[in-house]
Structure 1
Amino acid sequence: MGAMESQDTLLAVEGLSKTFQTGAGDVHALKDVSFSIPRGSVVGLVGESGSGKTTLGRCLLRLVEPSGGAVRFDGTDLLALGSAEMKRMRKRMQIIFQDPFSSLNPRMRVRDIIGEALVTHGIGKSRTERRDLTAGLLEEVGLKADHLSRFPHEFSGGQRQRIGIARALAVEPEFIVADEAVSALDVSVQAQILNLMQDLRERRSLTILFIAHDLSVVEYLCEEIVVLYLGRVVESGTARKLYAEPAHPYTRALLSAAPVADPDAVRNRQVLKGEIPSPLSPPSGCVFRTRCSFADEACAMQVPGPVVLSEHQTSHCLKAGSI
């Protein structure tokens, strides 16, 4: 899953970096991130809180401006576009935010929350047509047309997230960034939203970057996975390969920490020691070395490049394939 483009690649990310300048120093949120997303696929982006997942998702859409690198969407470098060109491109890409309680304007009715995108992009010739389109979107995500006049506080968390999904679908995008779209919801509601997204993906031929820290969620929905640690990609590949044979120590630790249905199952626990380092002063060499039980002096000296283990898996580890 490198950044190599092909006819089936919708999004290609090459050497993407983001540094935030703060009073305490430069925060290296992303560093030399490269991967690609095949057209029509669902790719999972996983990692602990603070690994840079949300920043990466927003950089792809230029909601946050990257510091360097390239983001090519269907062959077009998004970072080279002016504001007017980028606005036109935004019809093709949207985001579903993590928190359904804060991402909806509490002073706006549902018809205006969803209809705002239609007005912005000139979709619908009249107010009546836009209302019909908005009602259709609500019904598509499992709500009713008579909910249009309600305010966000009148809905449950799962219903609010459905409204957020309807808002994202309003401009008929090809690509959606789902930023922890189910993490704020109860488990039973999570399953409903995941099933909805799977249905919408198939019905609308969507390409999705699904950001999550819950690996069981990613396994259910995604064909391919990118593992991010402290702003760097440490492993990528097909979900089947990464779940069966994780090569990077960080991926193994994440998988061993994930809950399983059988409490008596025998598991090879690999507990992460310490906390994720500060992006203000990331470790030299391999950024994971301070928490890795396999690290040695070489890991402190050399930044690991991608090691292609198979056509289905790439690991950024000096010991890839030998541990």
Structure 2
Amino acid sequence: MANEEFALIAQLQKSLGHAGKGVLLGMGDDAAWLDTEGRSLVSSMDTLVAGRHFFVDVHPADLAWKALAVNLSDLAAMGAIPRWCLLSLALPPLAEGYGQWLQDFVAGWRELAEMADVALVGGDTVATDGPLTLSITALGVVEQGVMRRDAASVGDLIWVTGTLGDAAAALDRALVARGLPGWDLDCSEACAQALENRRLRPLPRLDFARAARAAGVACALDCSDGFLADLGHILRASGLRARVDLESLPLSSALSACIDGDLQRLQRWPLTGGDDYELIFCAPPTLTPILMELAETRALPITAVGQILPAEPQAPEDVDLYWQGLPLPLPESRGHQHVF
């Protein structure tokens, strides 16, 4: 494996190891040497395992894009500017070798990395008898302060970027197609493809997030586990409660056609489904005009879906859910549950 490992590292260095901003010494030595240019450093790391976090038959280009995207989305949630990444690959034996697989992986990674202006500056490759596993560390910088989960305030409006539920619906469709438990959905091929694109190639909201932080937004996180679960992270960290209007959750035209007013599907996909990697952020109503302007200039829809409420120690739930003005019980499942 040693020679093959060195060849893989050399190909990654040649294809993705270009110099980036603040890279004094990148791939090729024992460690990278980076210059934060006097800014604070923000870091995030995710590990993805075949069969648990992604299907083993996923196209390598889509796998690379999403693996990088989920880490960049964490930086976006903090309002950070992405700069560098580290990549670790644990590779099981592949009958035909990793030549074409790596070319496709590099293509998907490079496409998003160039959009985000982030450089690969190091990592590791190892052989494994287990499933294909990727670990990525993303590093970003901020000039002053970050957006945090614990910074919501009473009276803040709760906003989301983009639309919710596409990835969860696409995952259900993919599970059913593989004979696994999931909810079937009847939609056109065009709608199905639009949903699948959102599942495989999420777009980290980096530019809007930085602008929102600069405008005074103090509280945000990315929506990966499901809207209701992730809003719960904010509420617990901030010690507050919230009201959410289910009909306000923004839907893409593709998902809206699939839901067609079905309340159960509305709760399963946009309310509790994960993998959207949109931003949930909280801001005082006084910021609404500037936030709408920032979103409009970036052609990114943002939607106010509820409001932060004072804490009530005796309240049975931390979210009051409403549907067309009437209270609605919270679903049993709030979102993705991590096993470990």
Shorter-chain TM band:
under 0.3
TM-score by length of 2: 0.22
TM-score by length of 1: 0.23
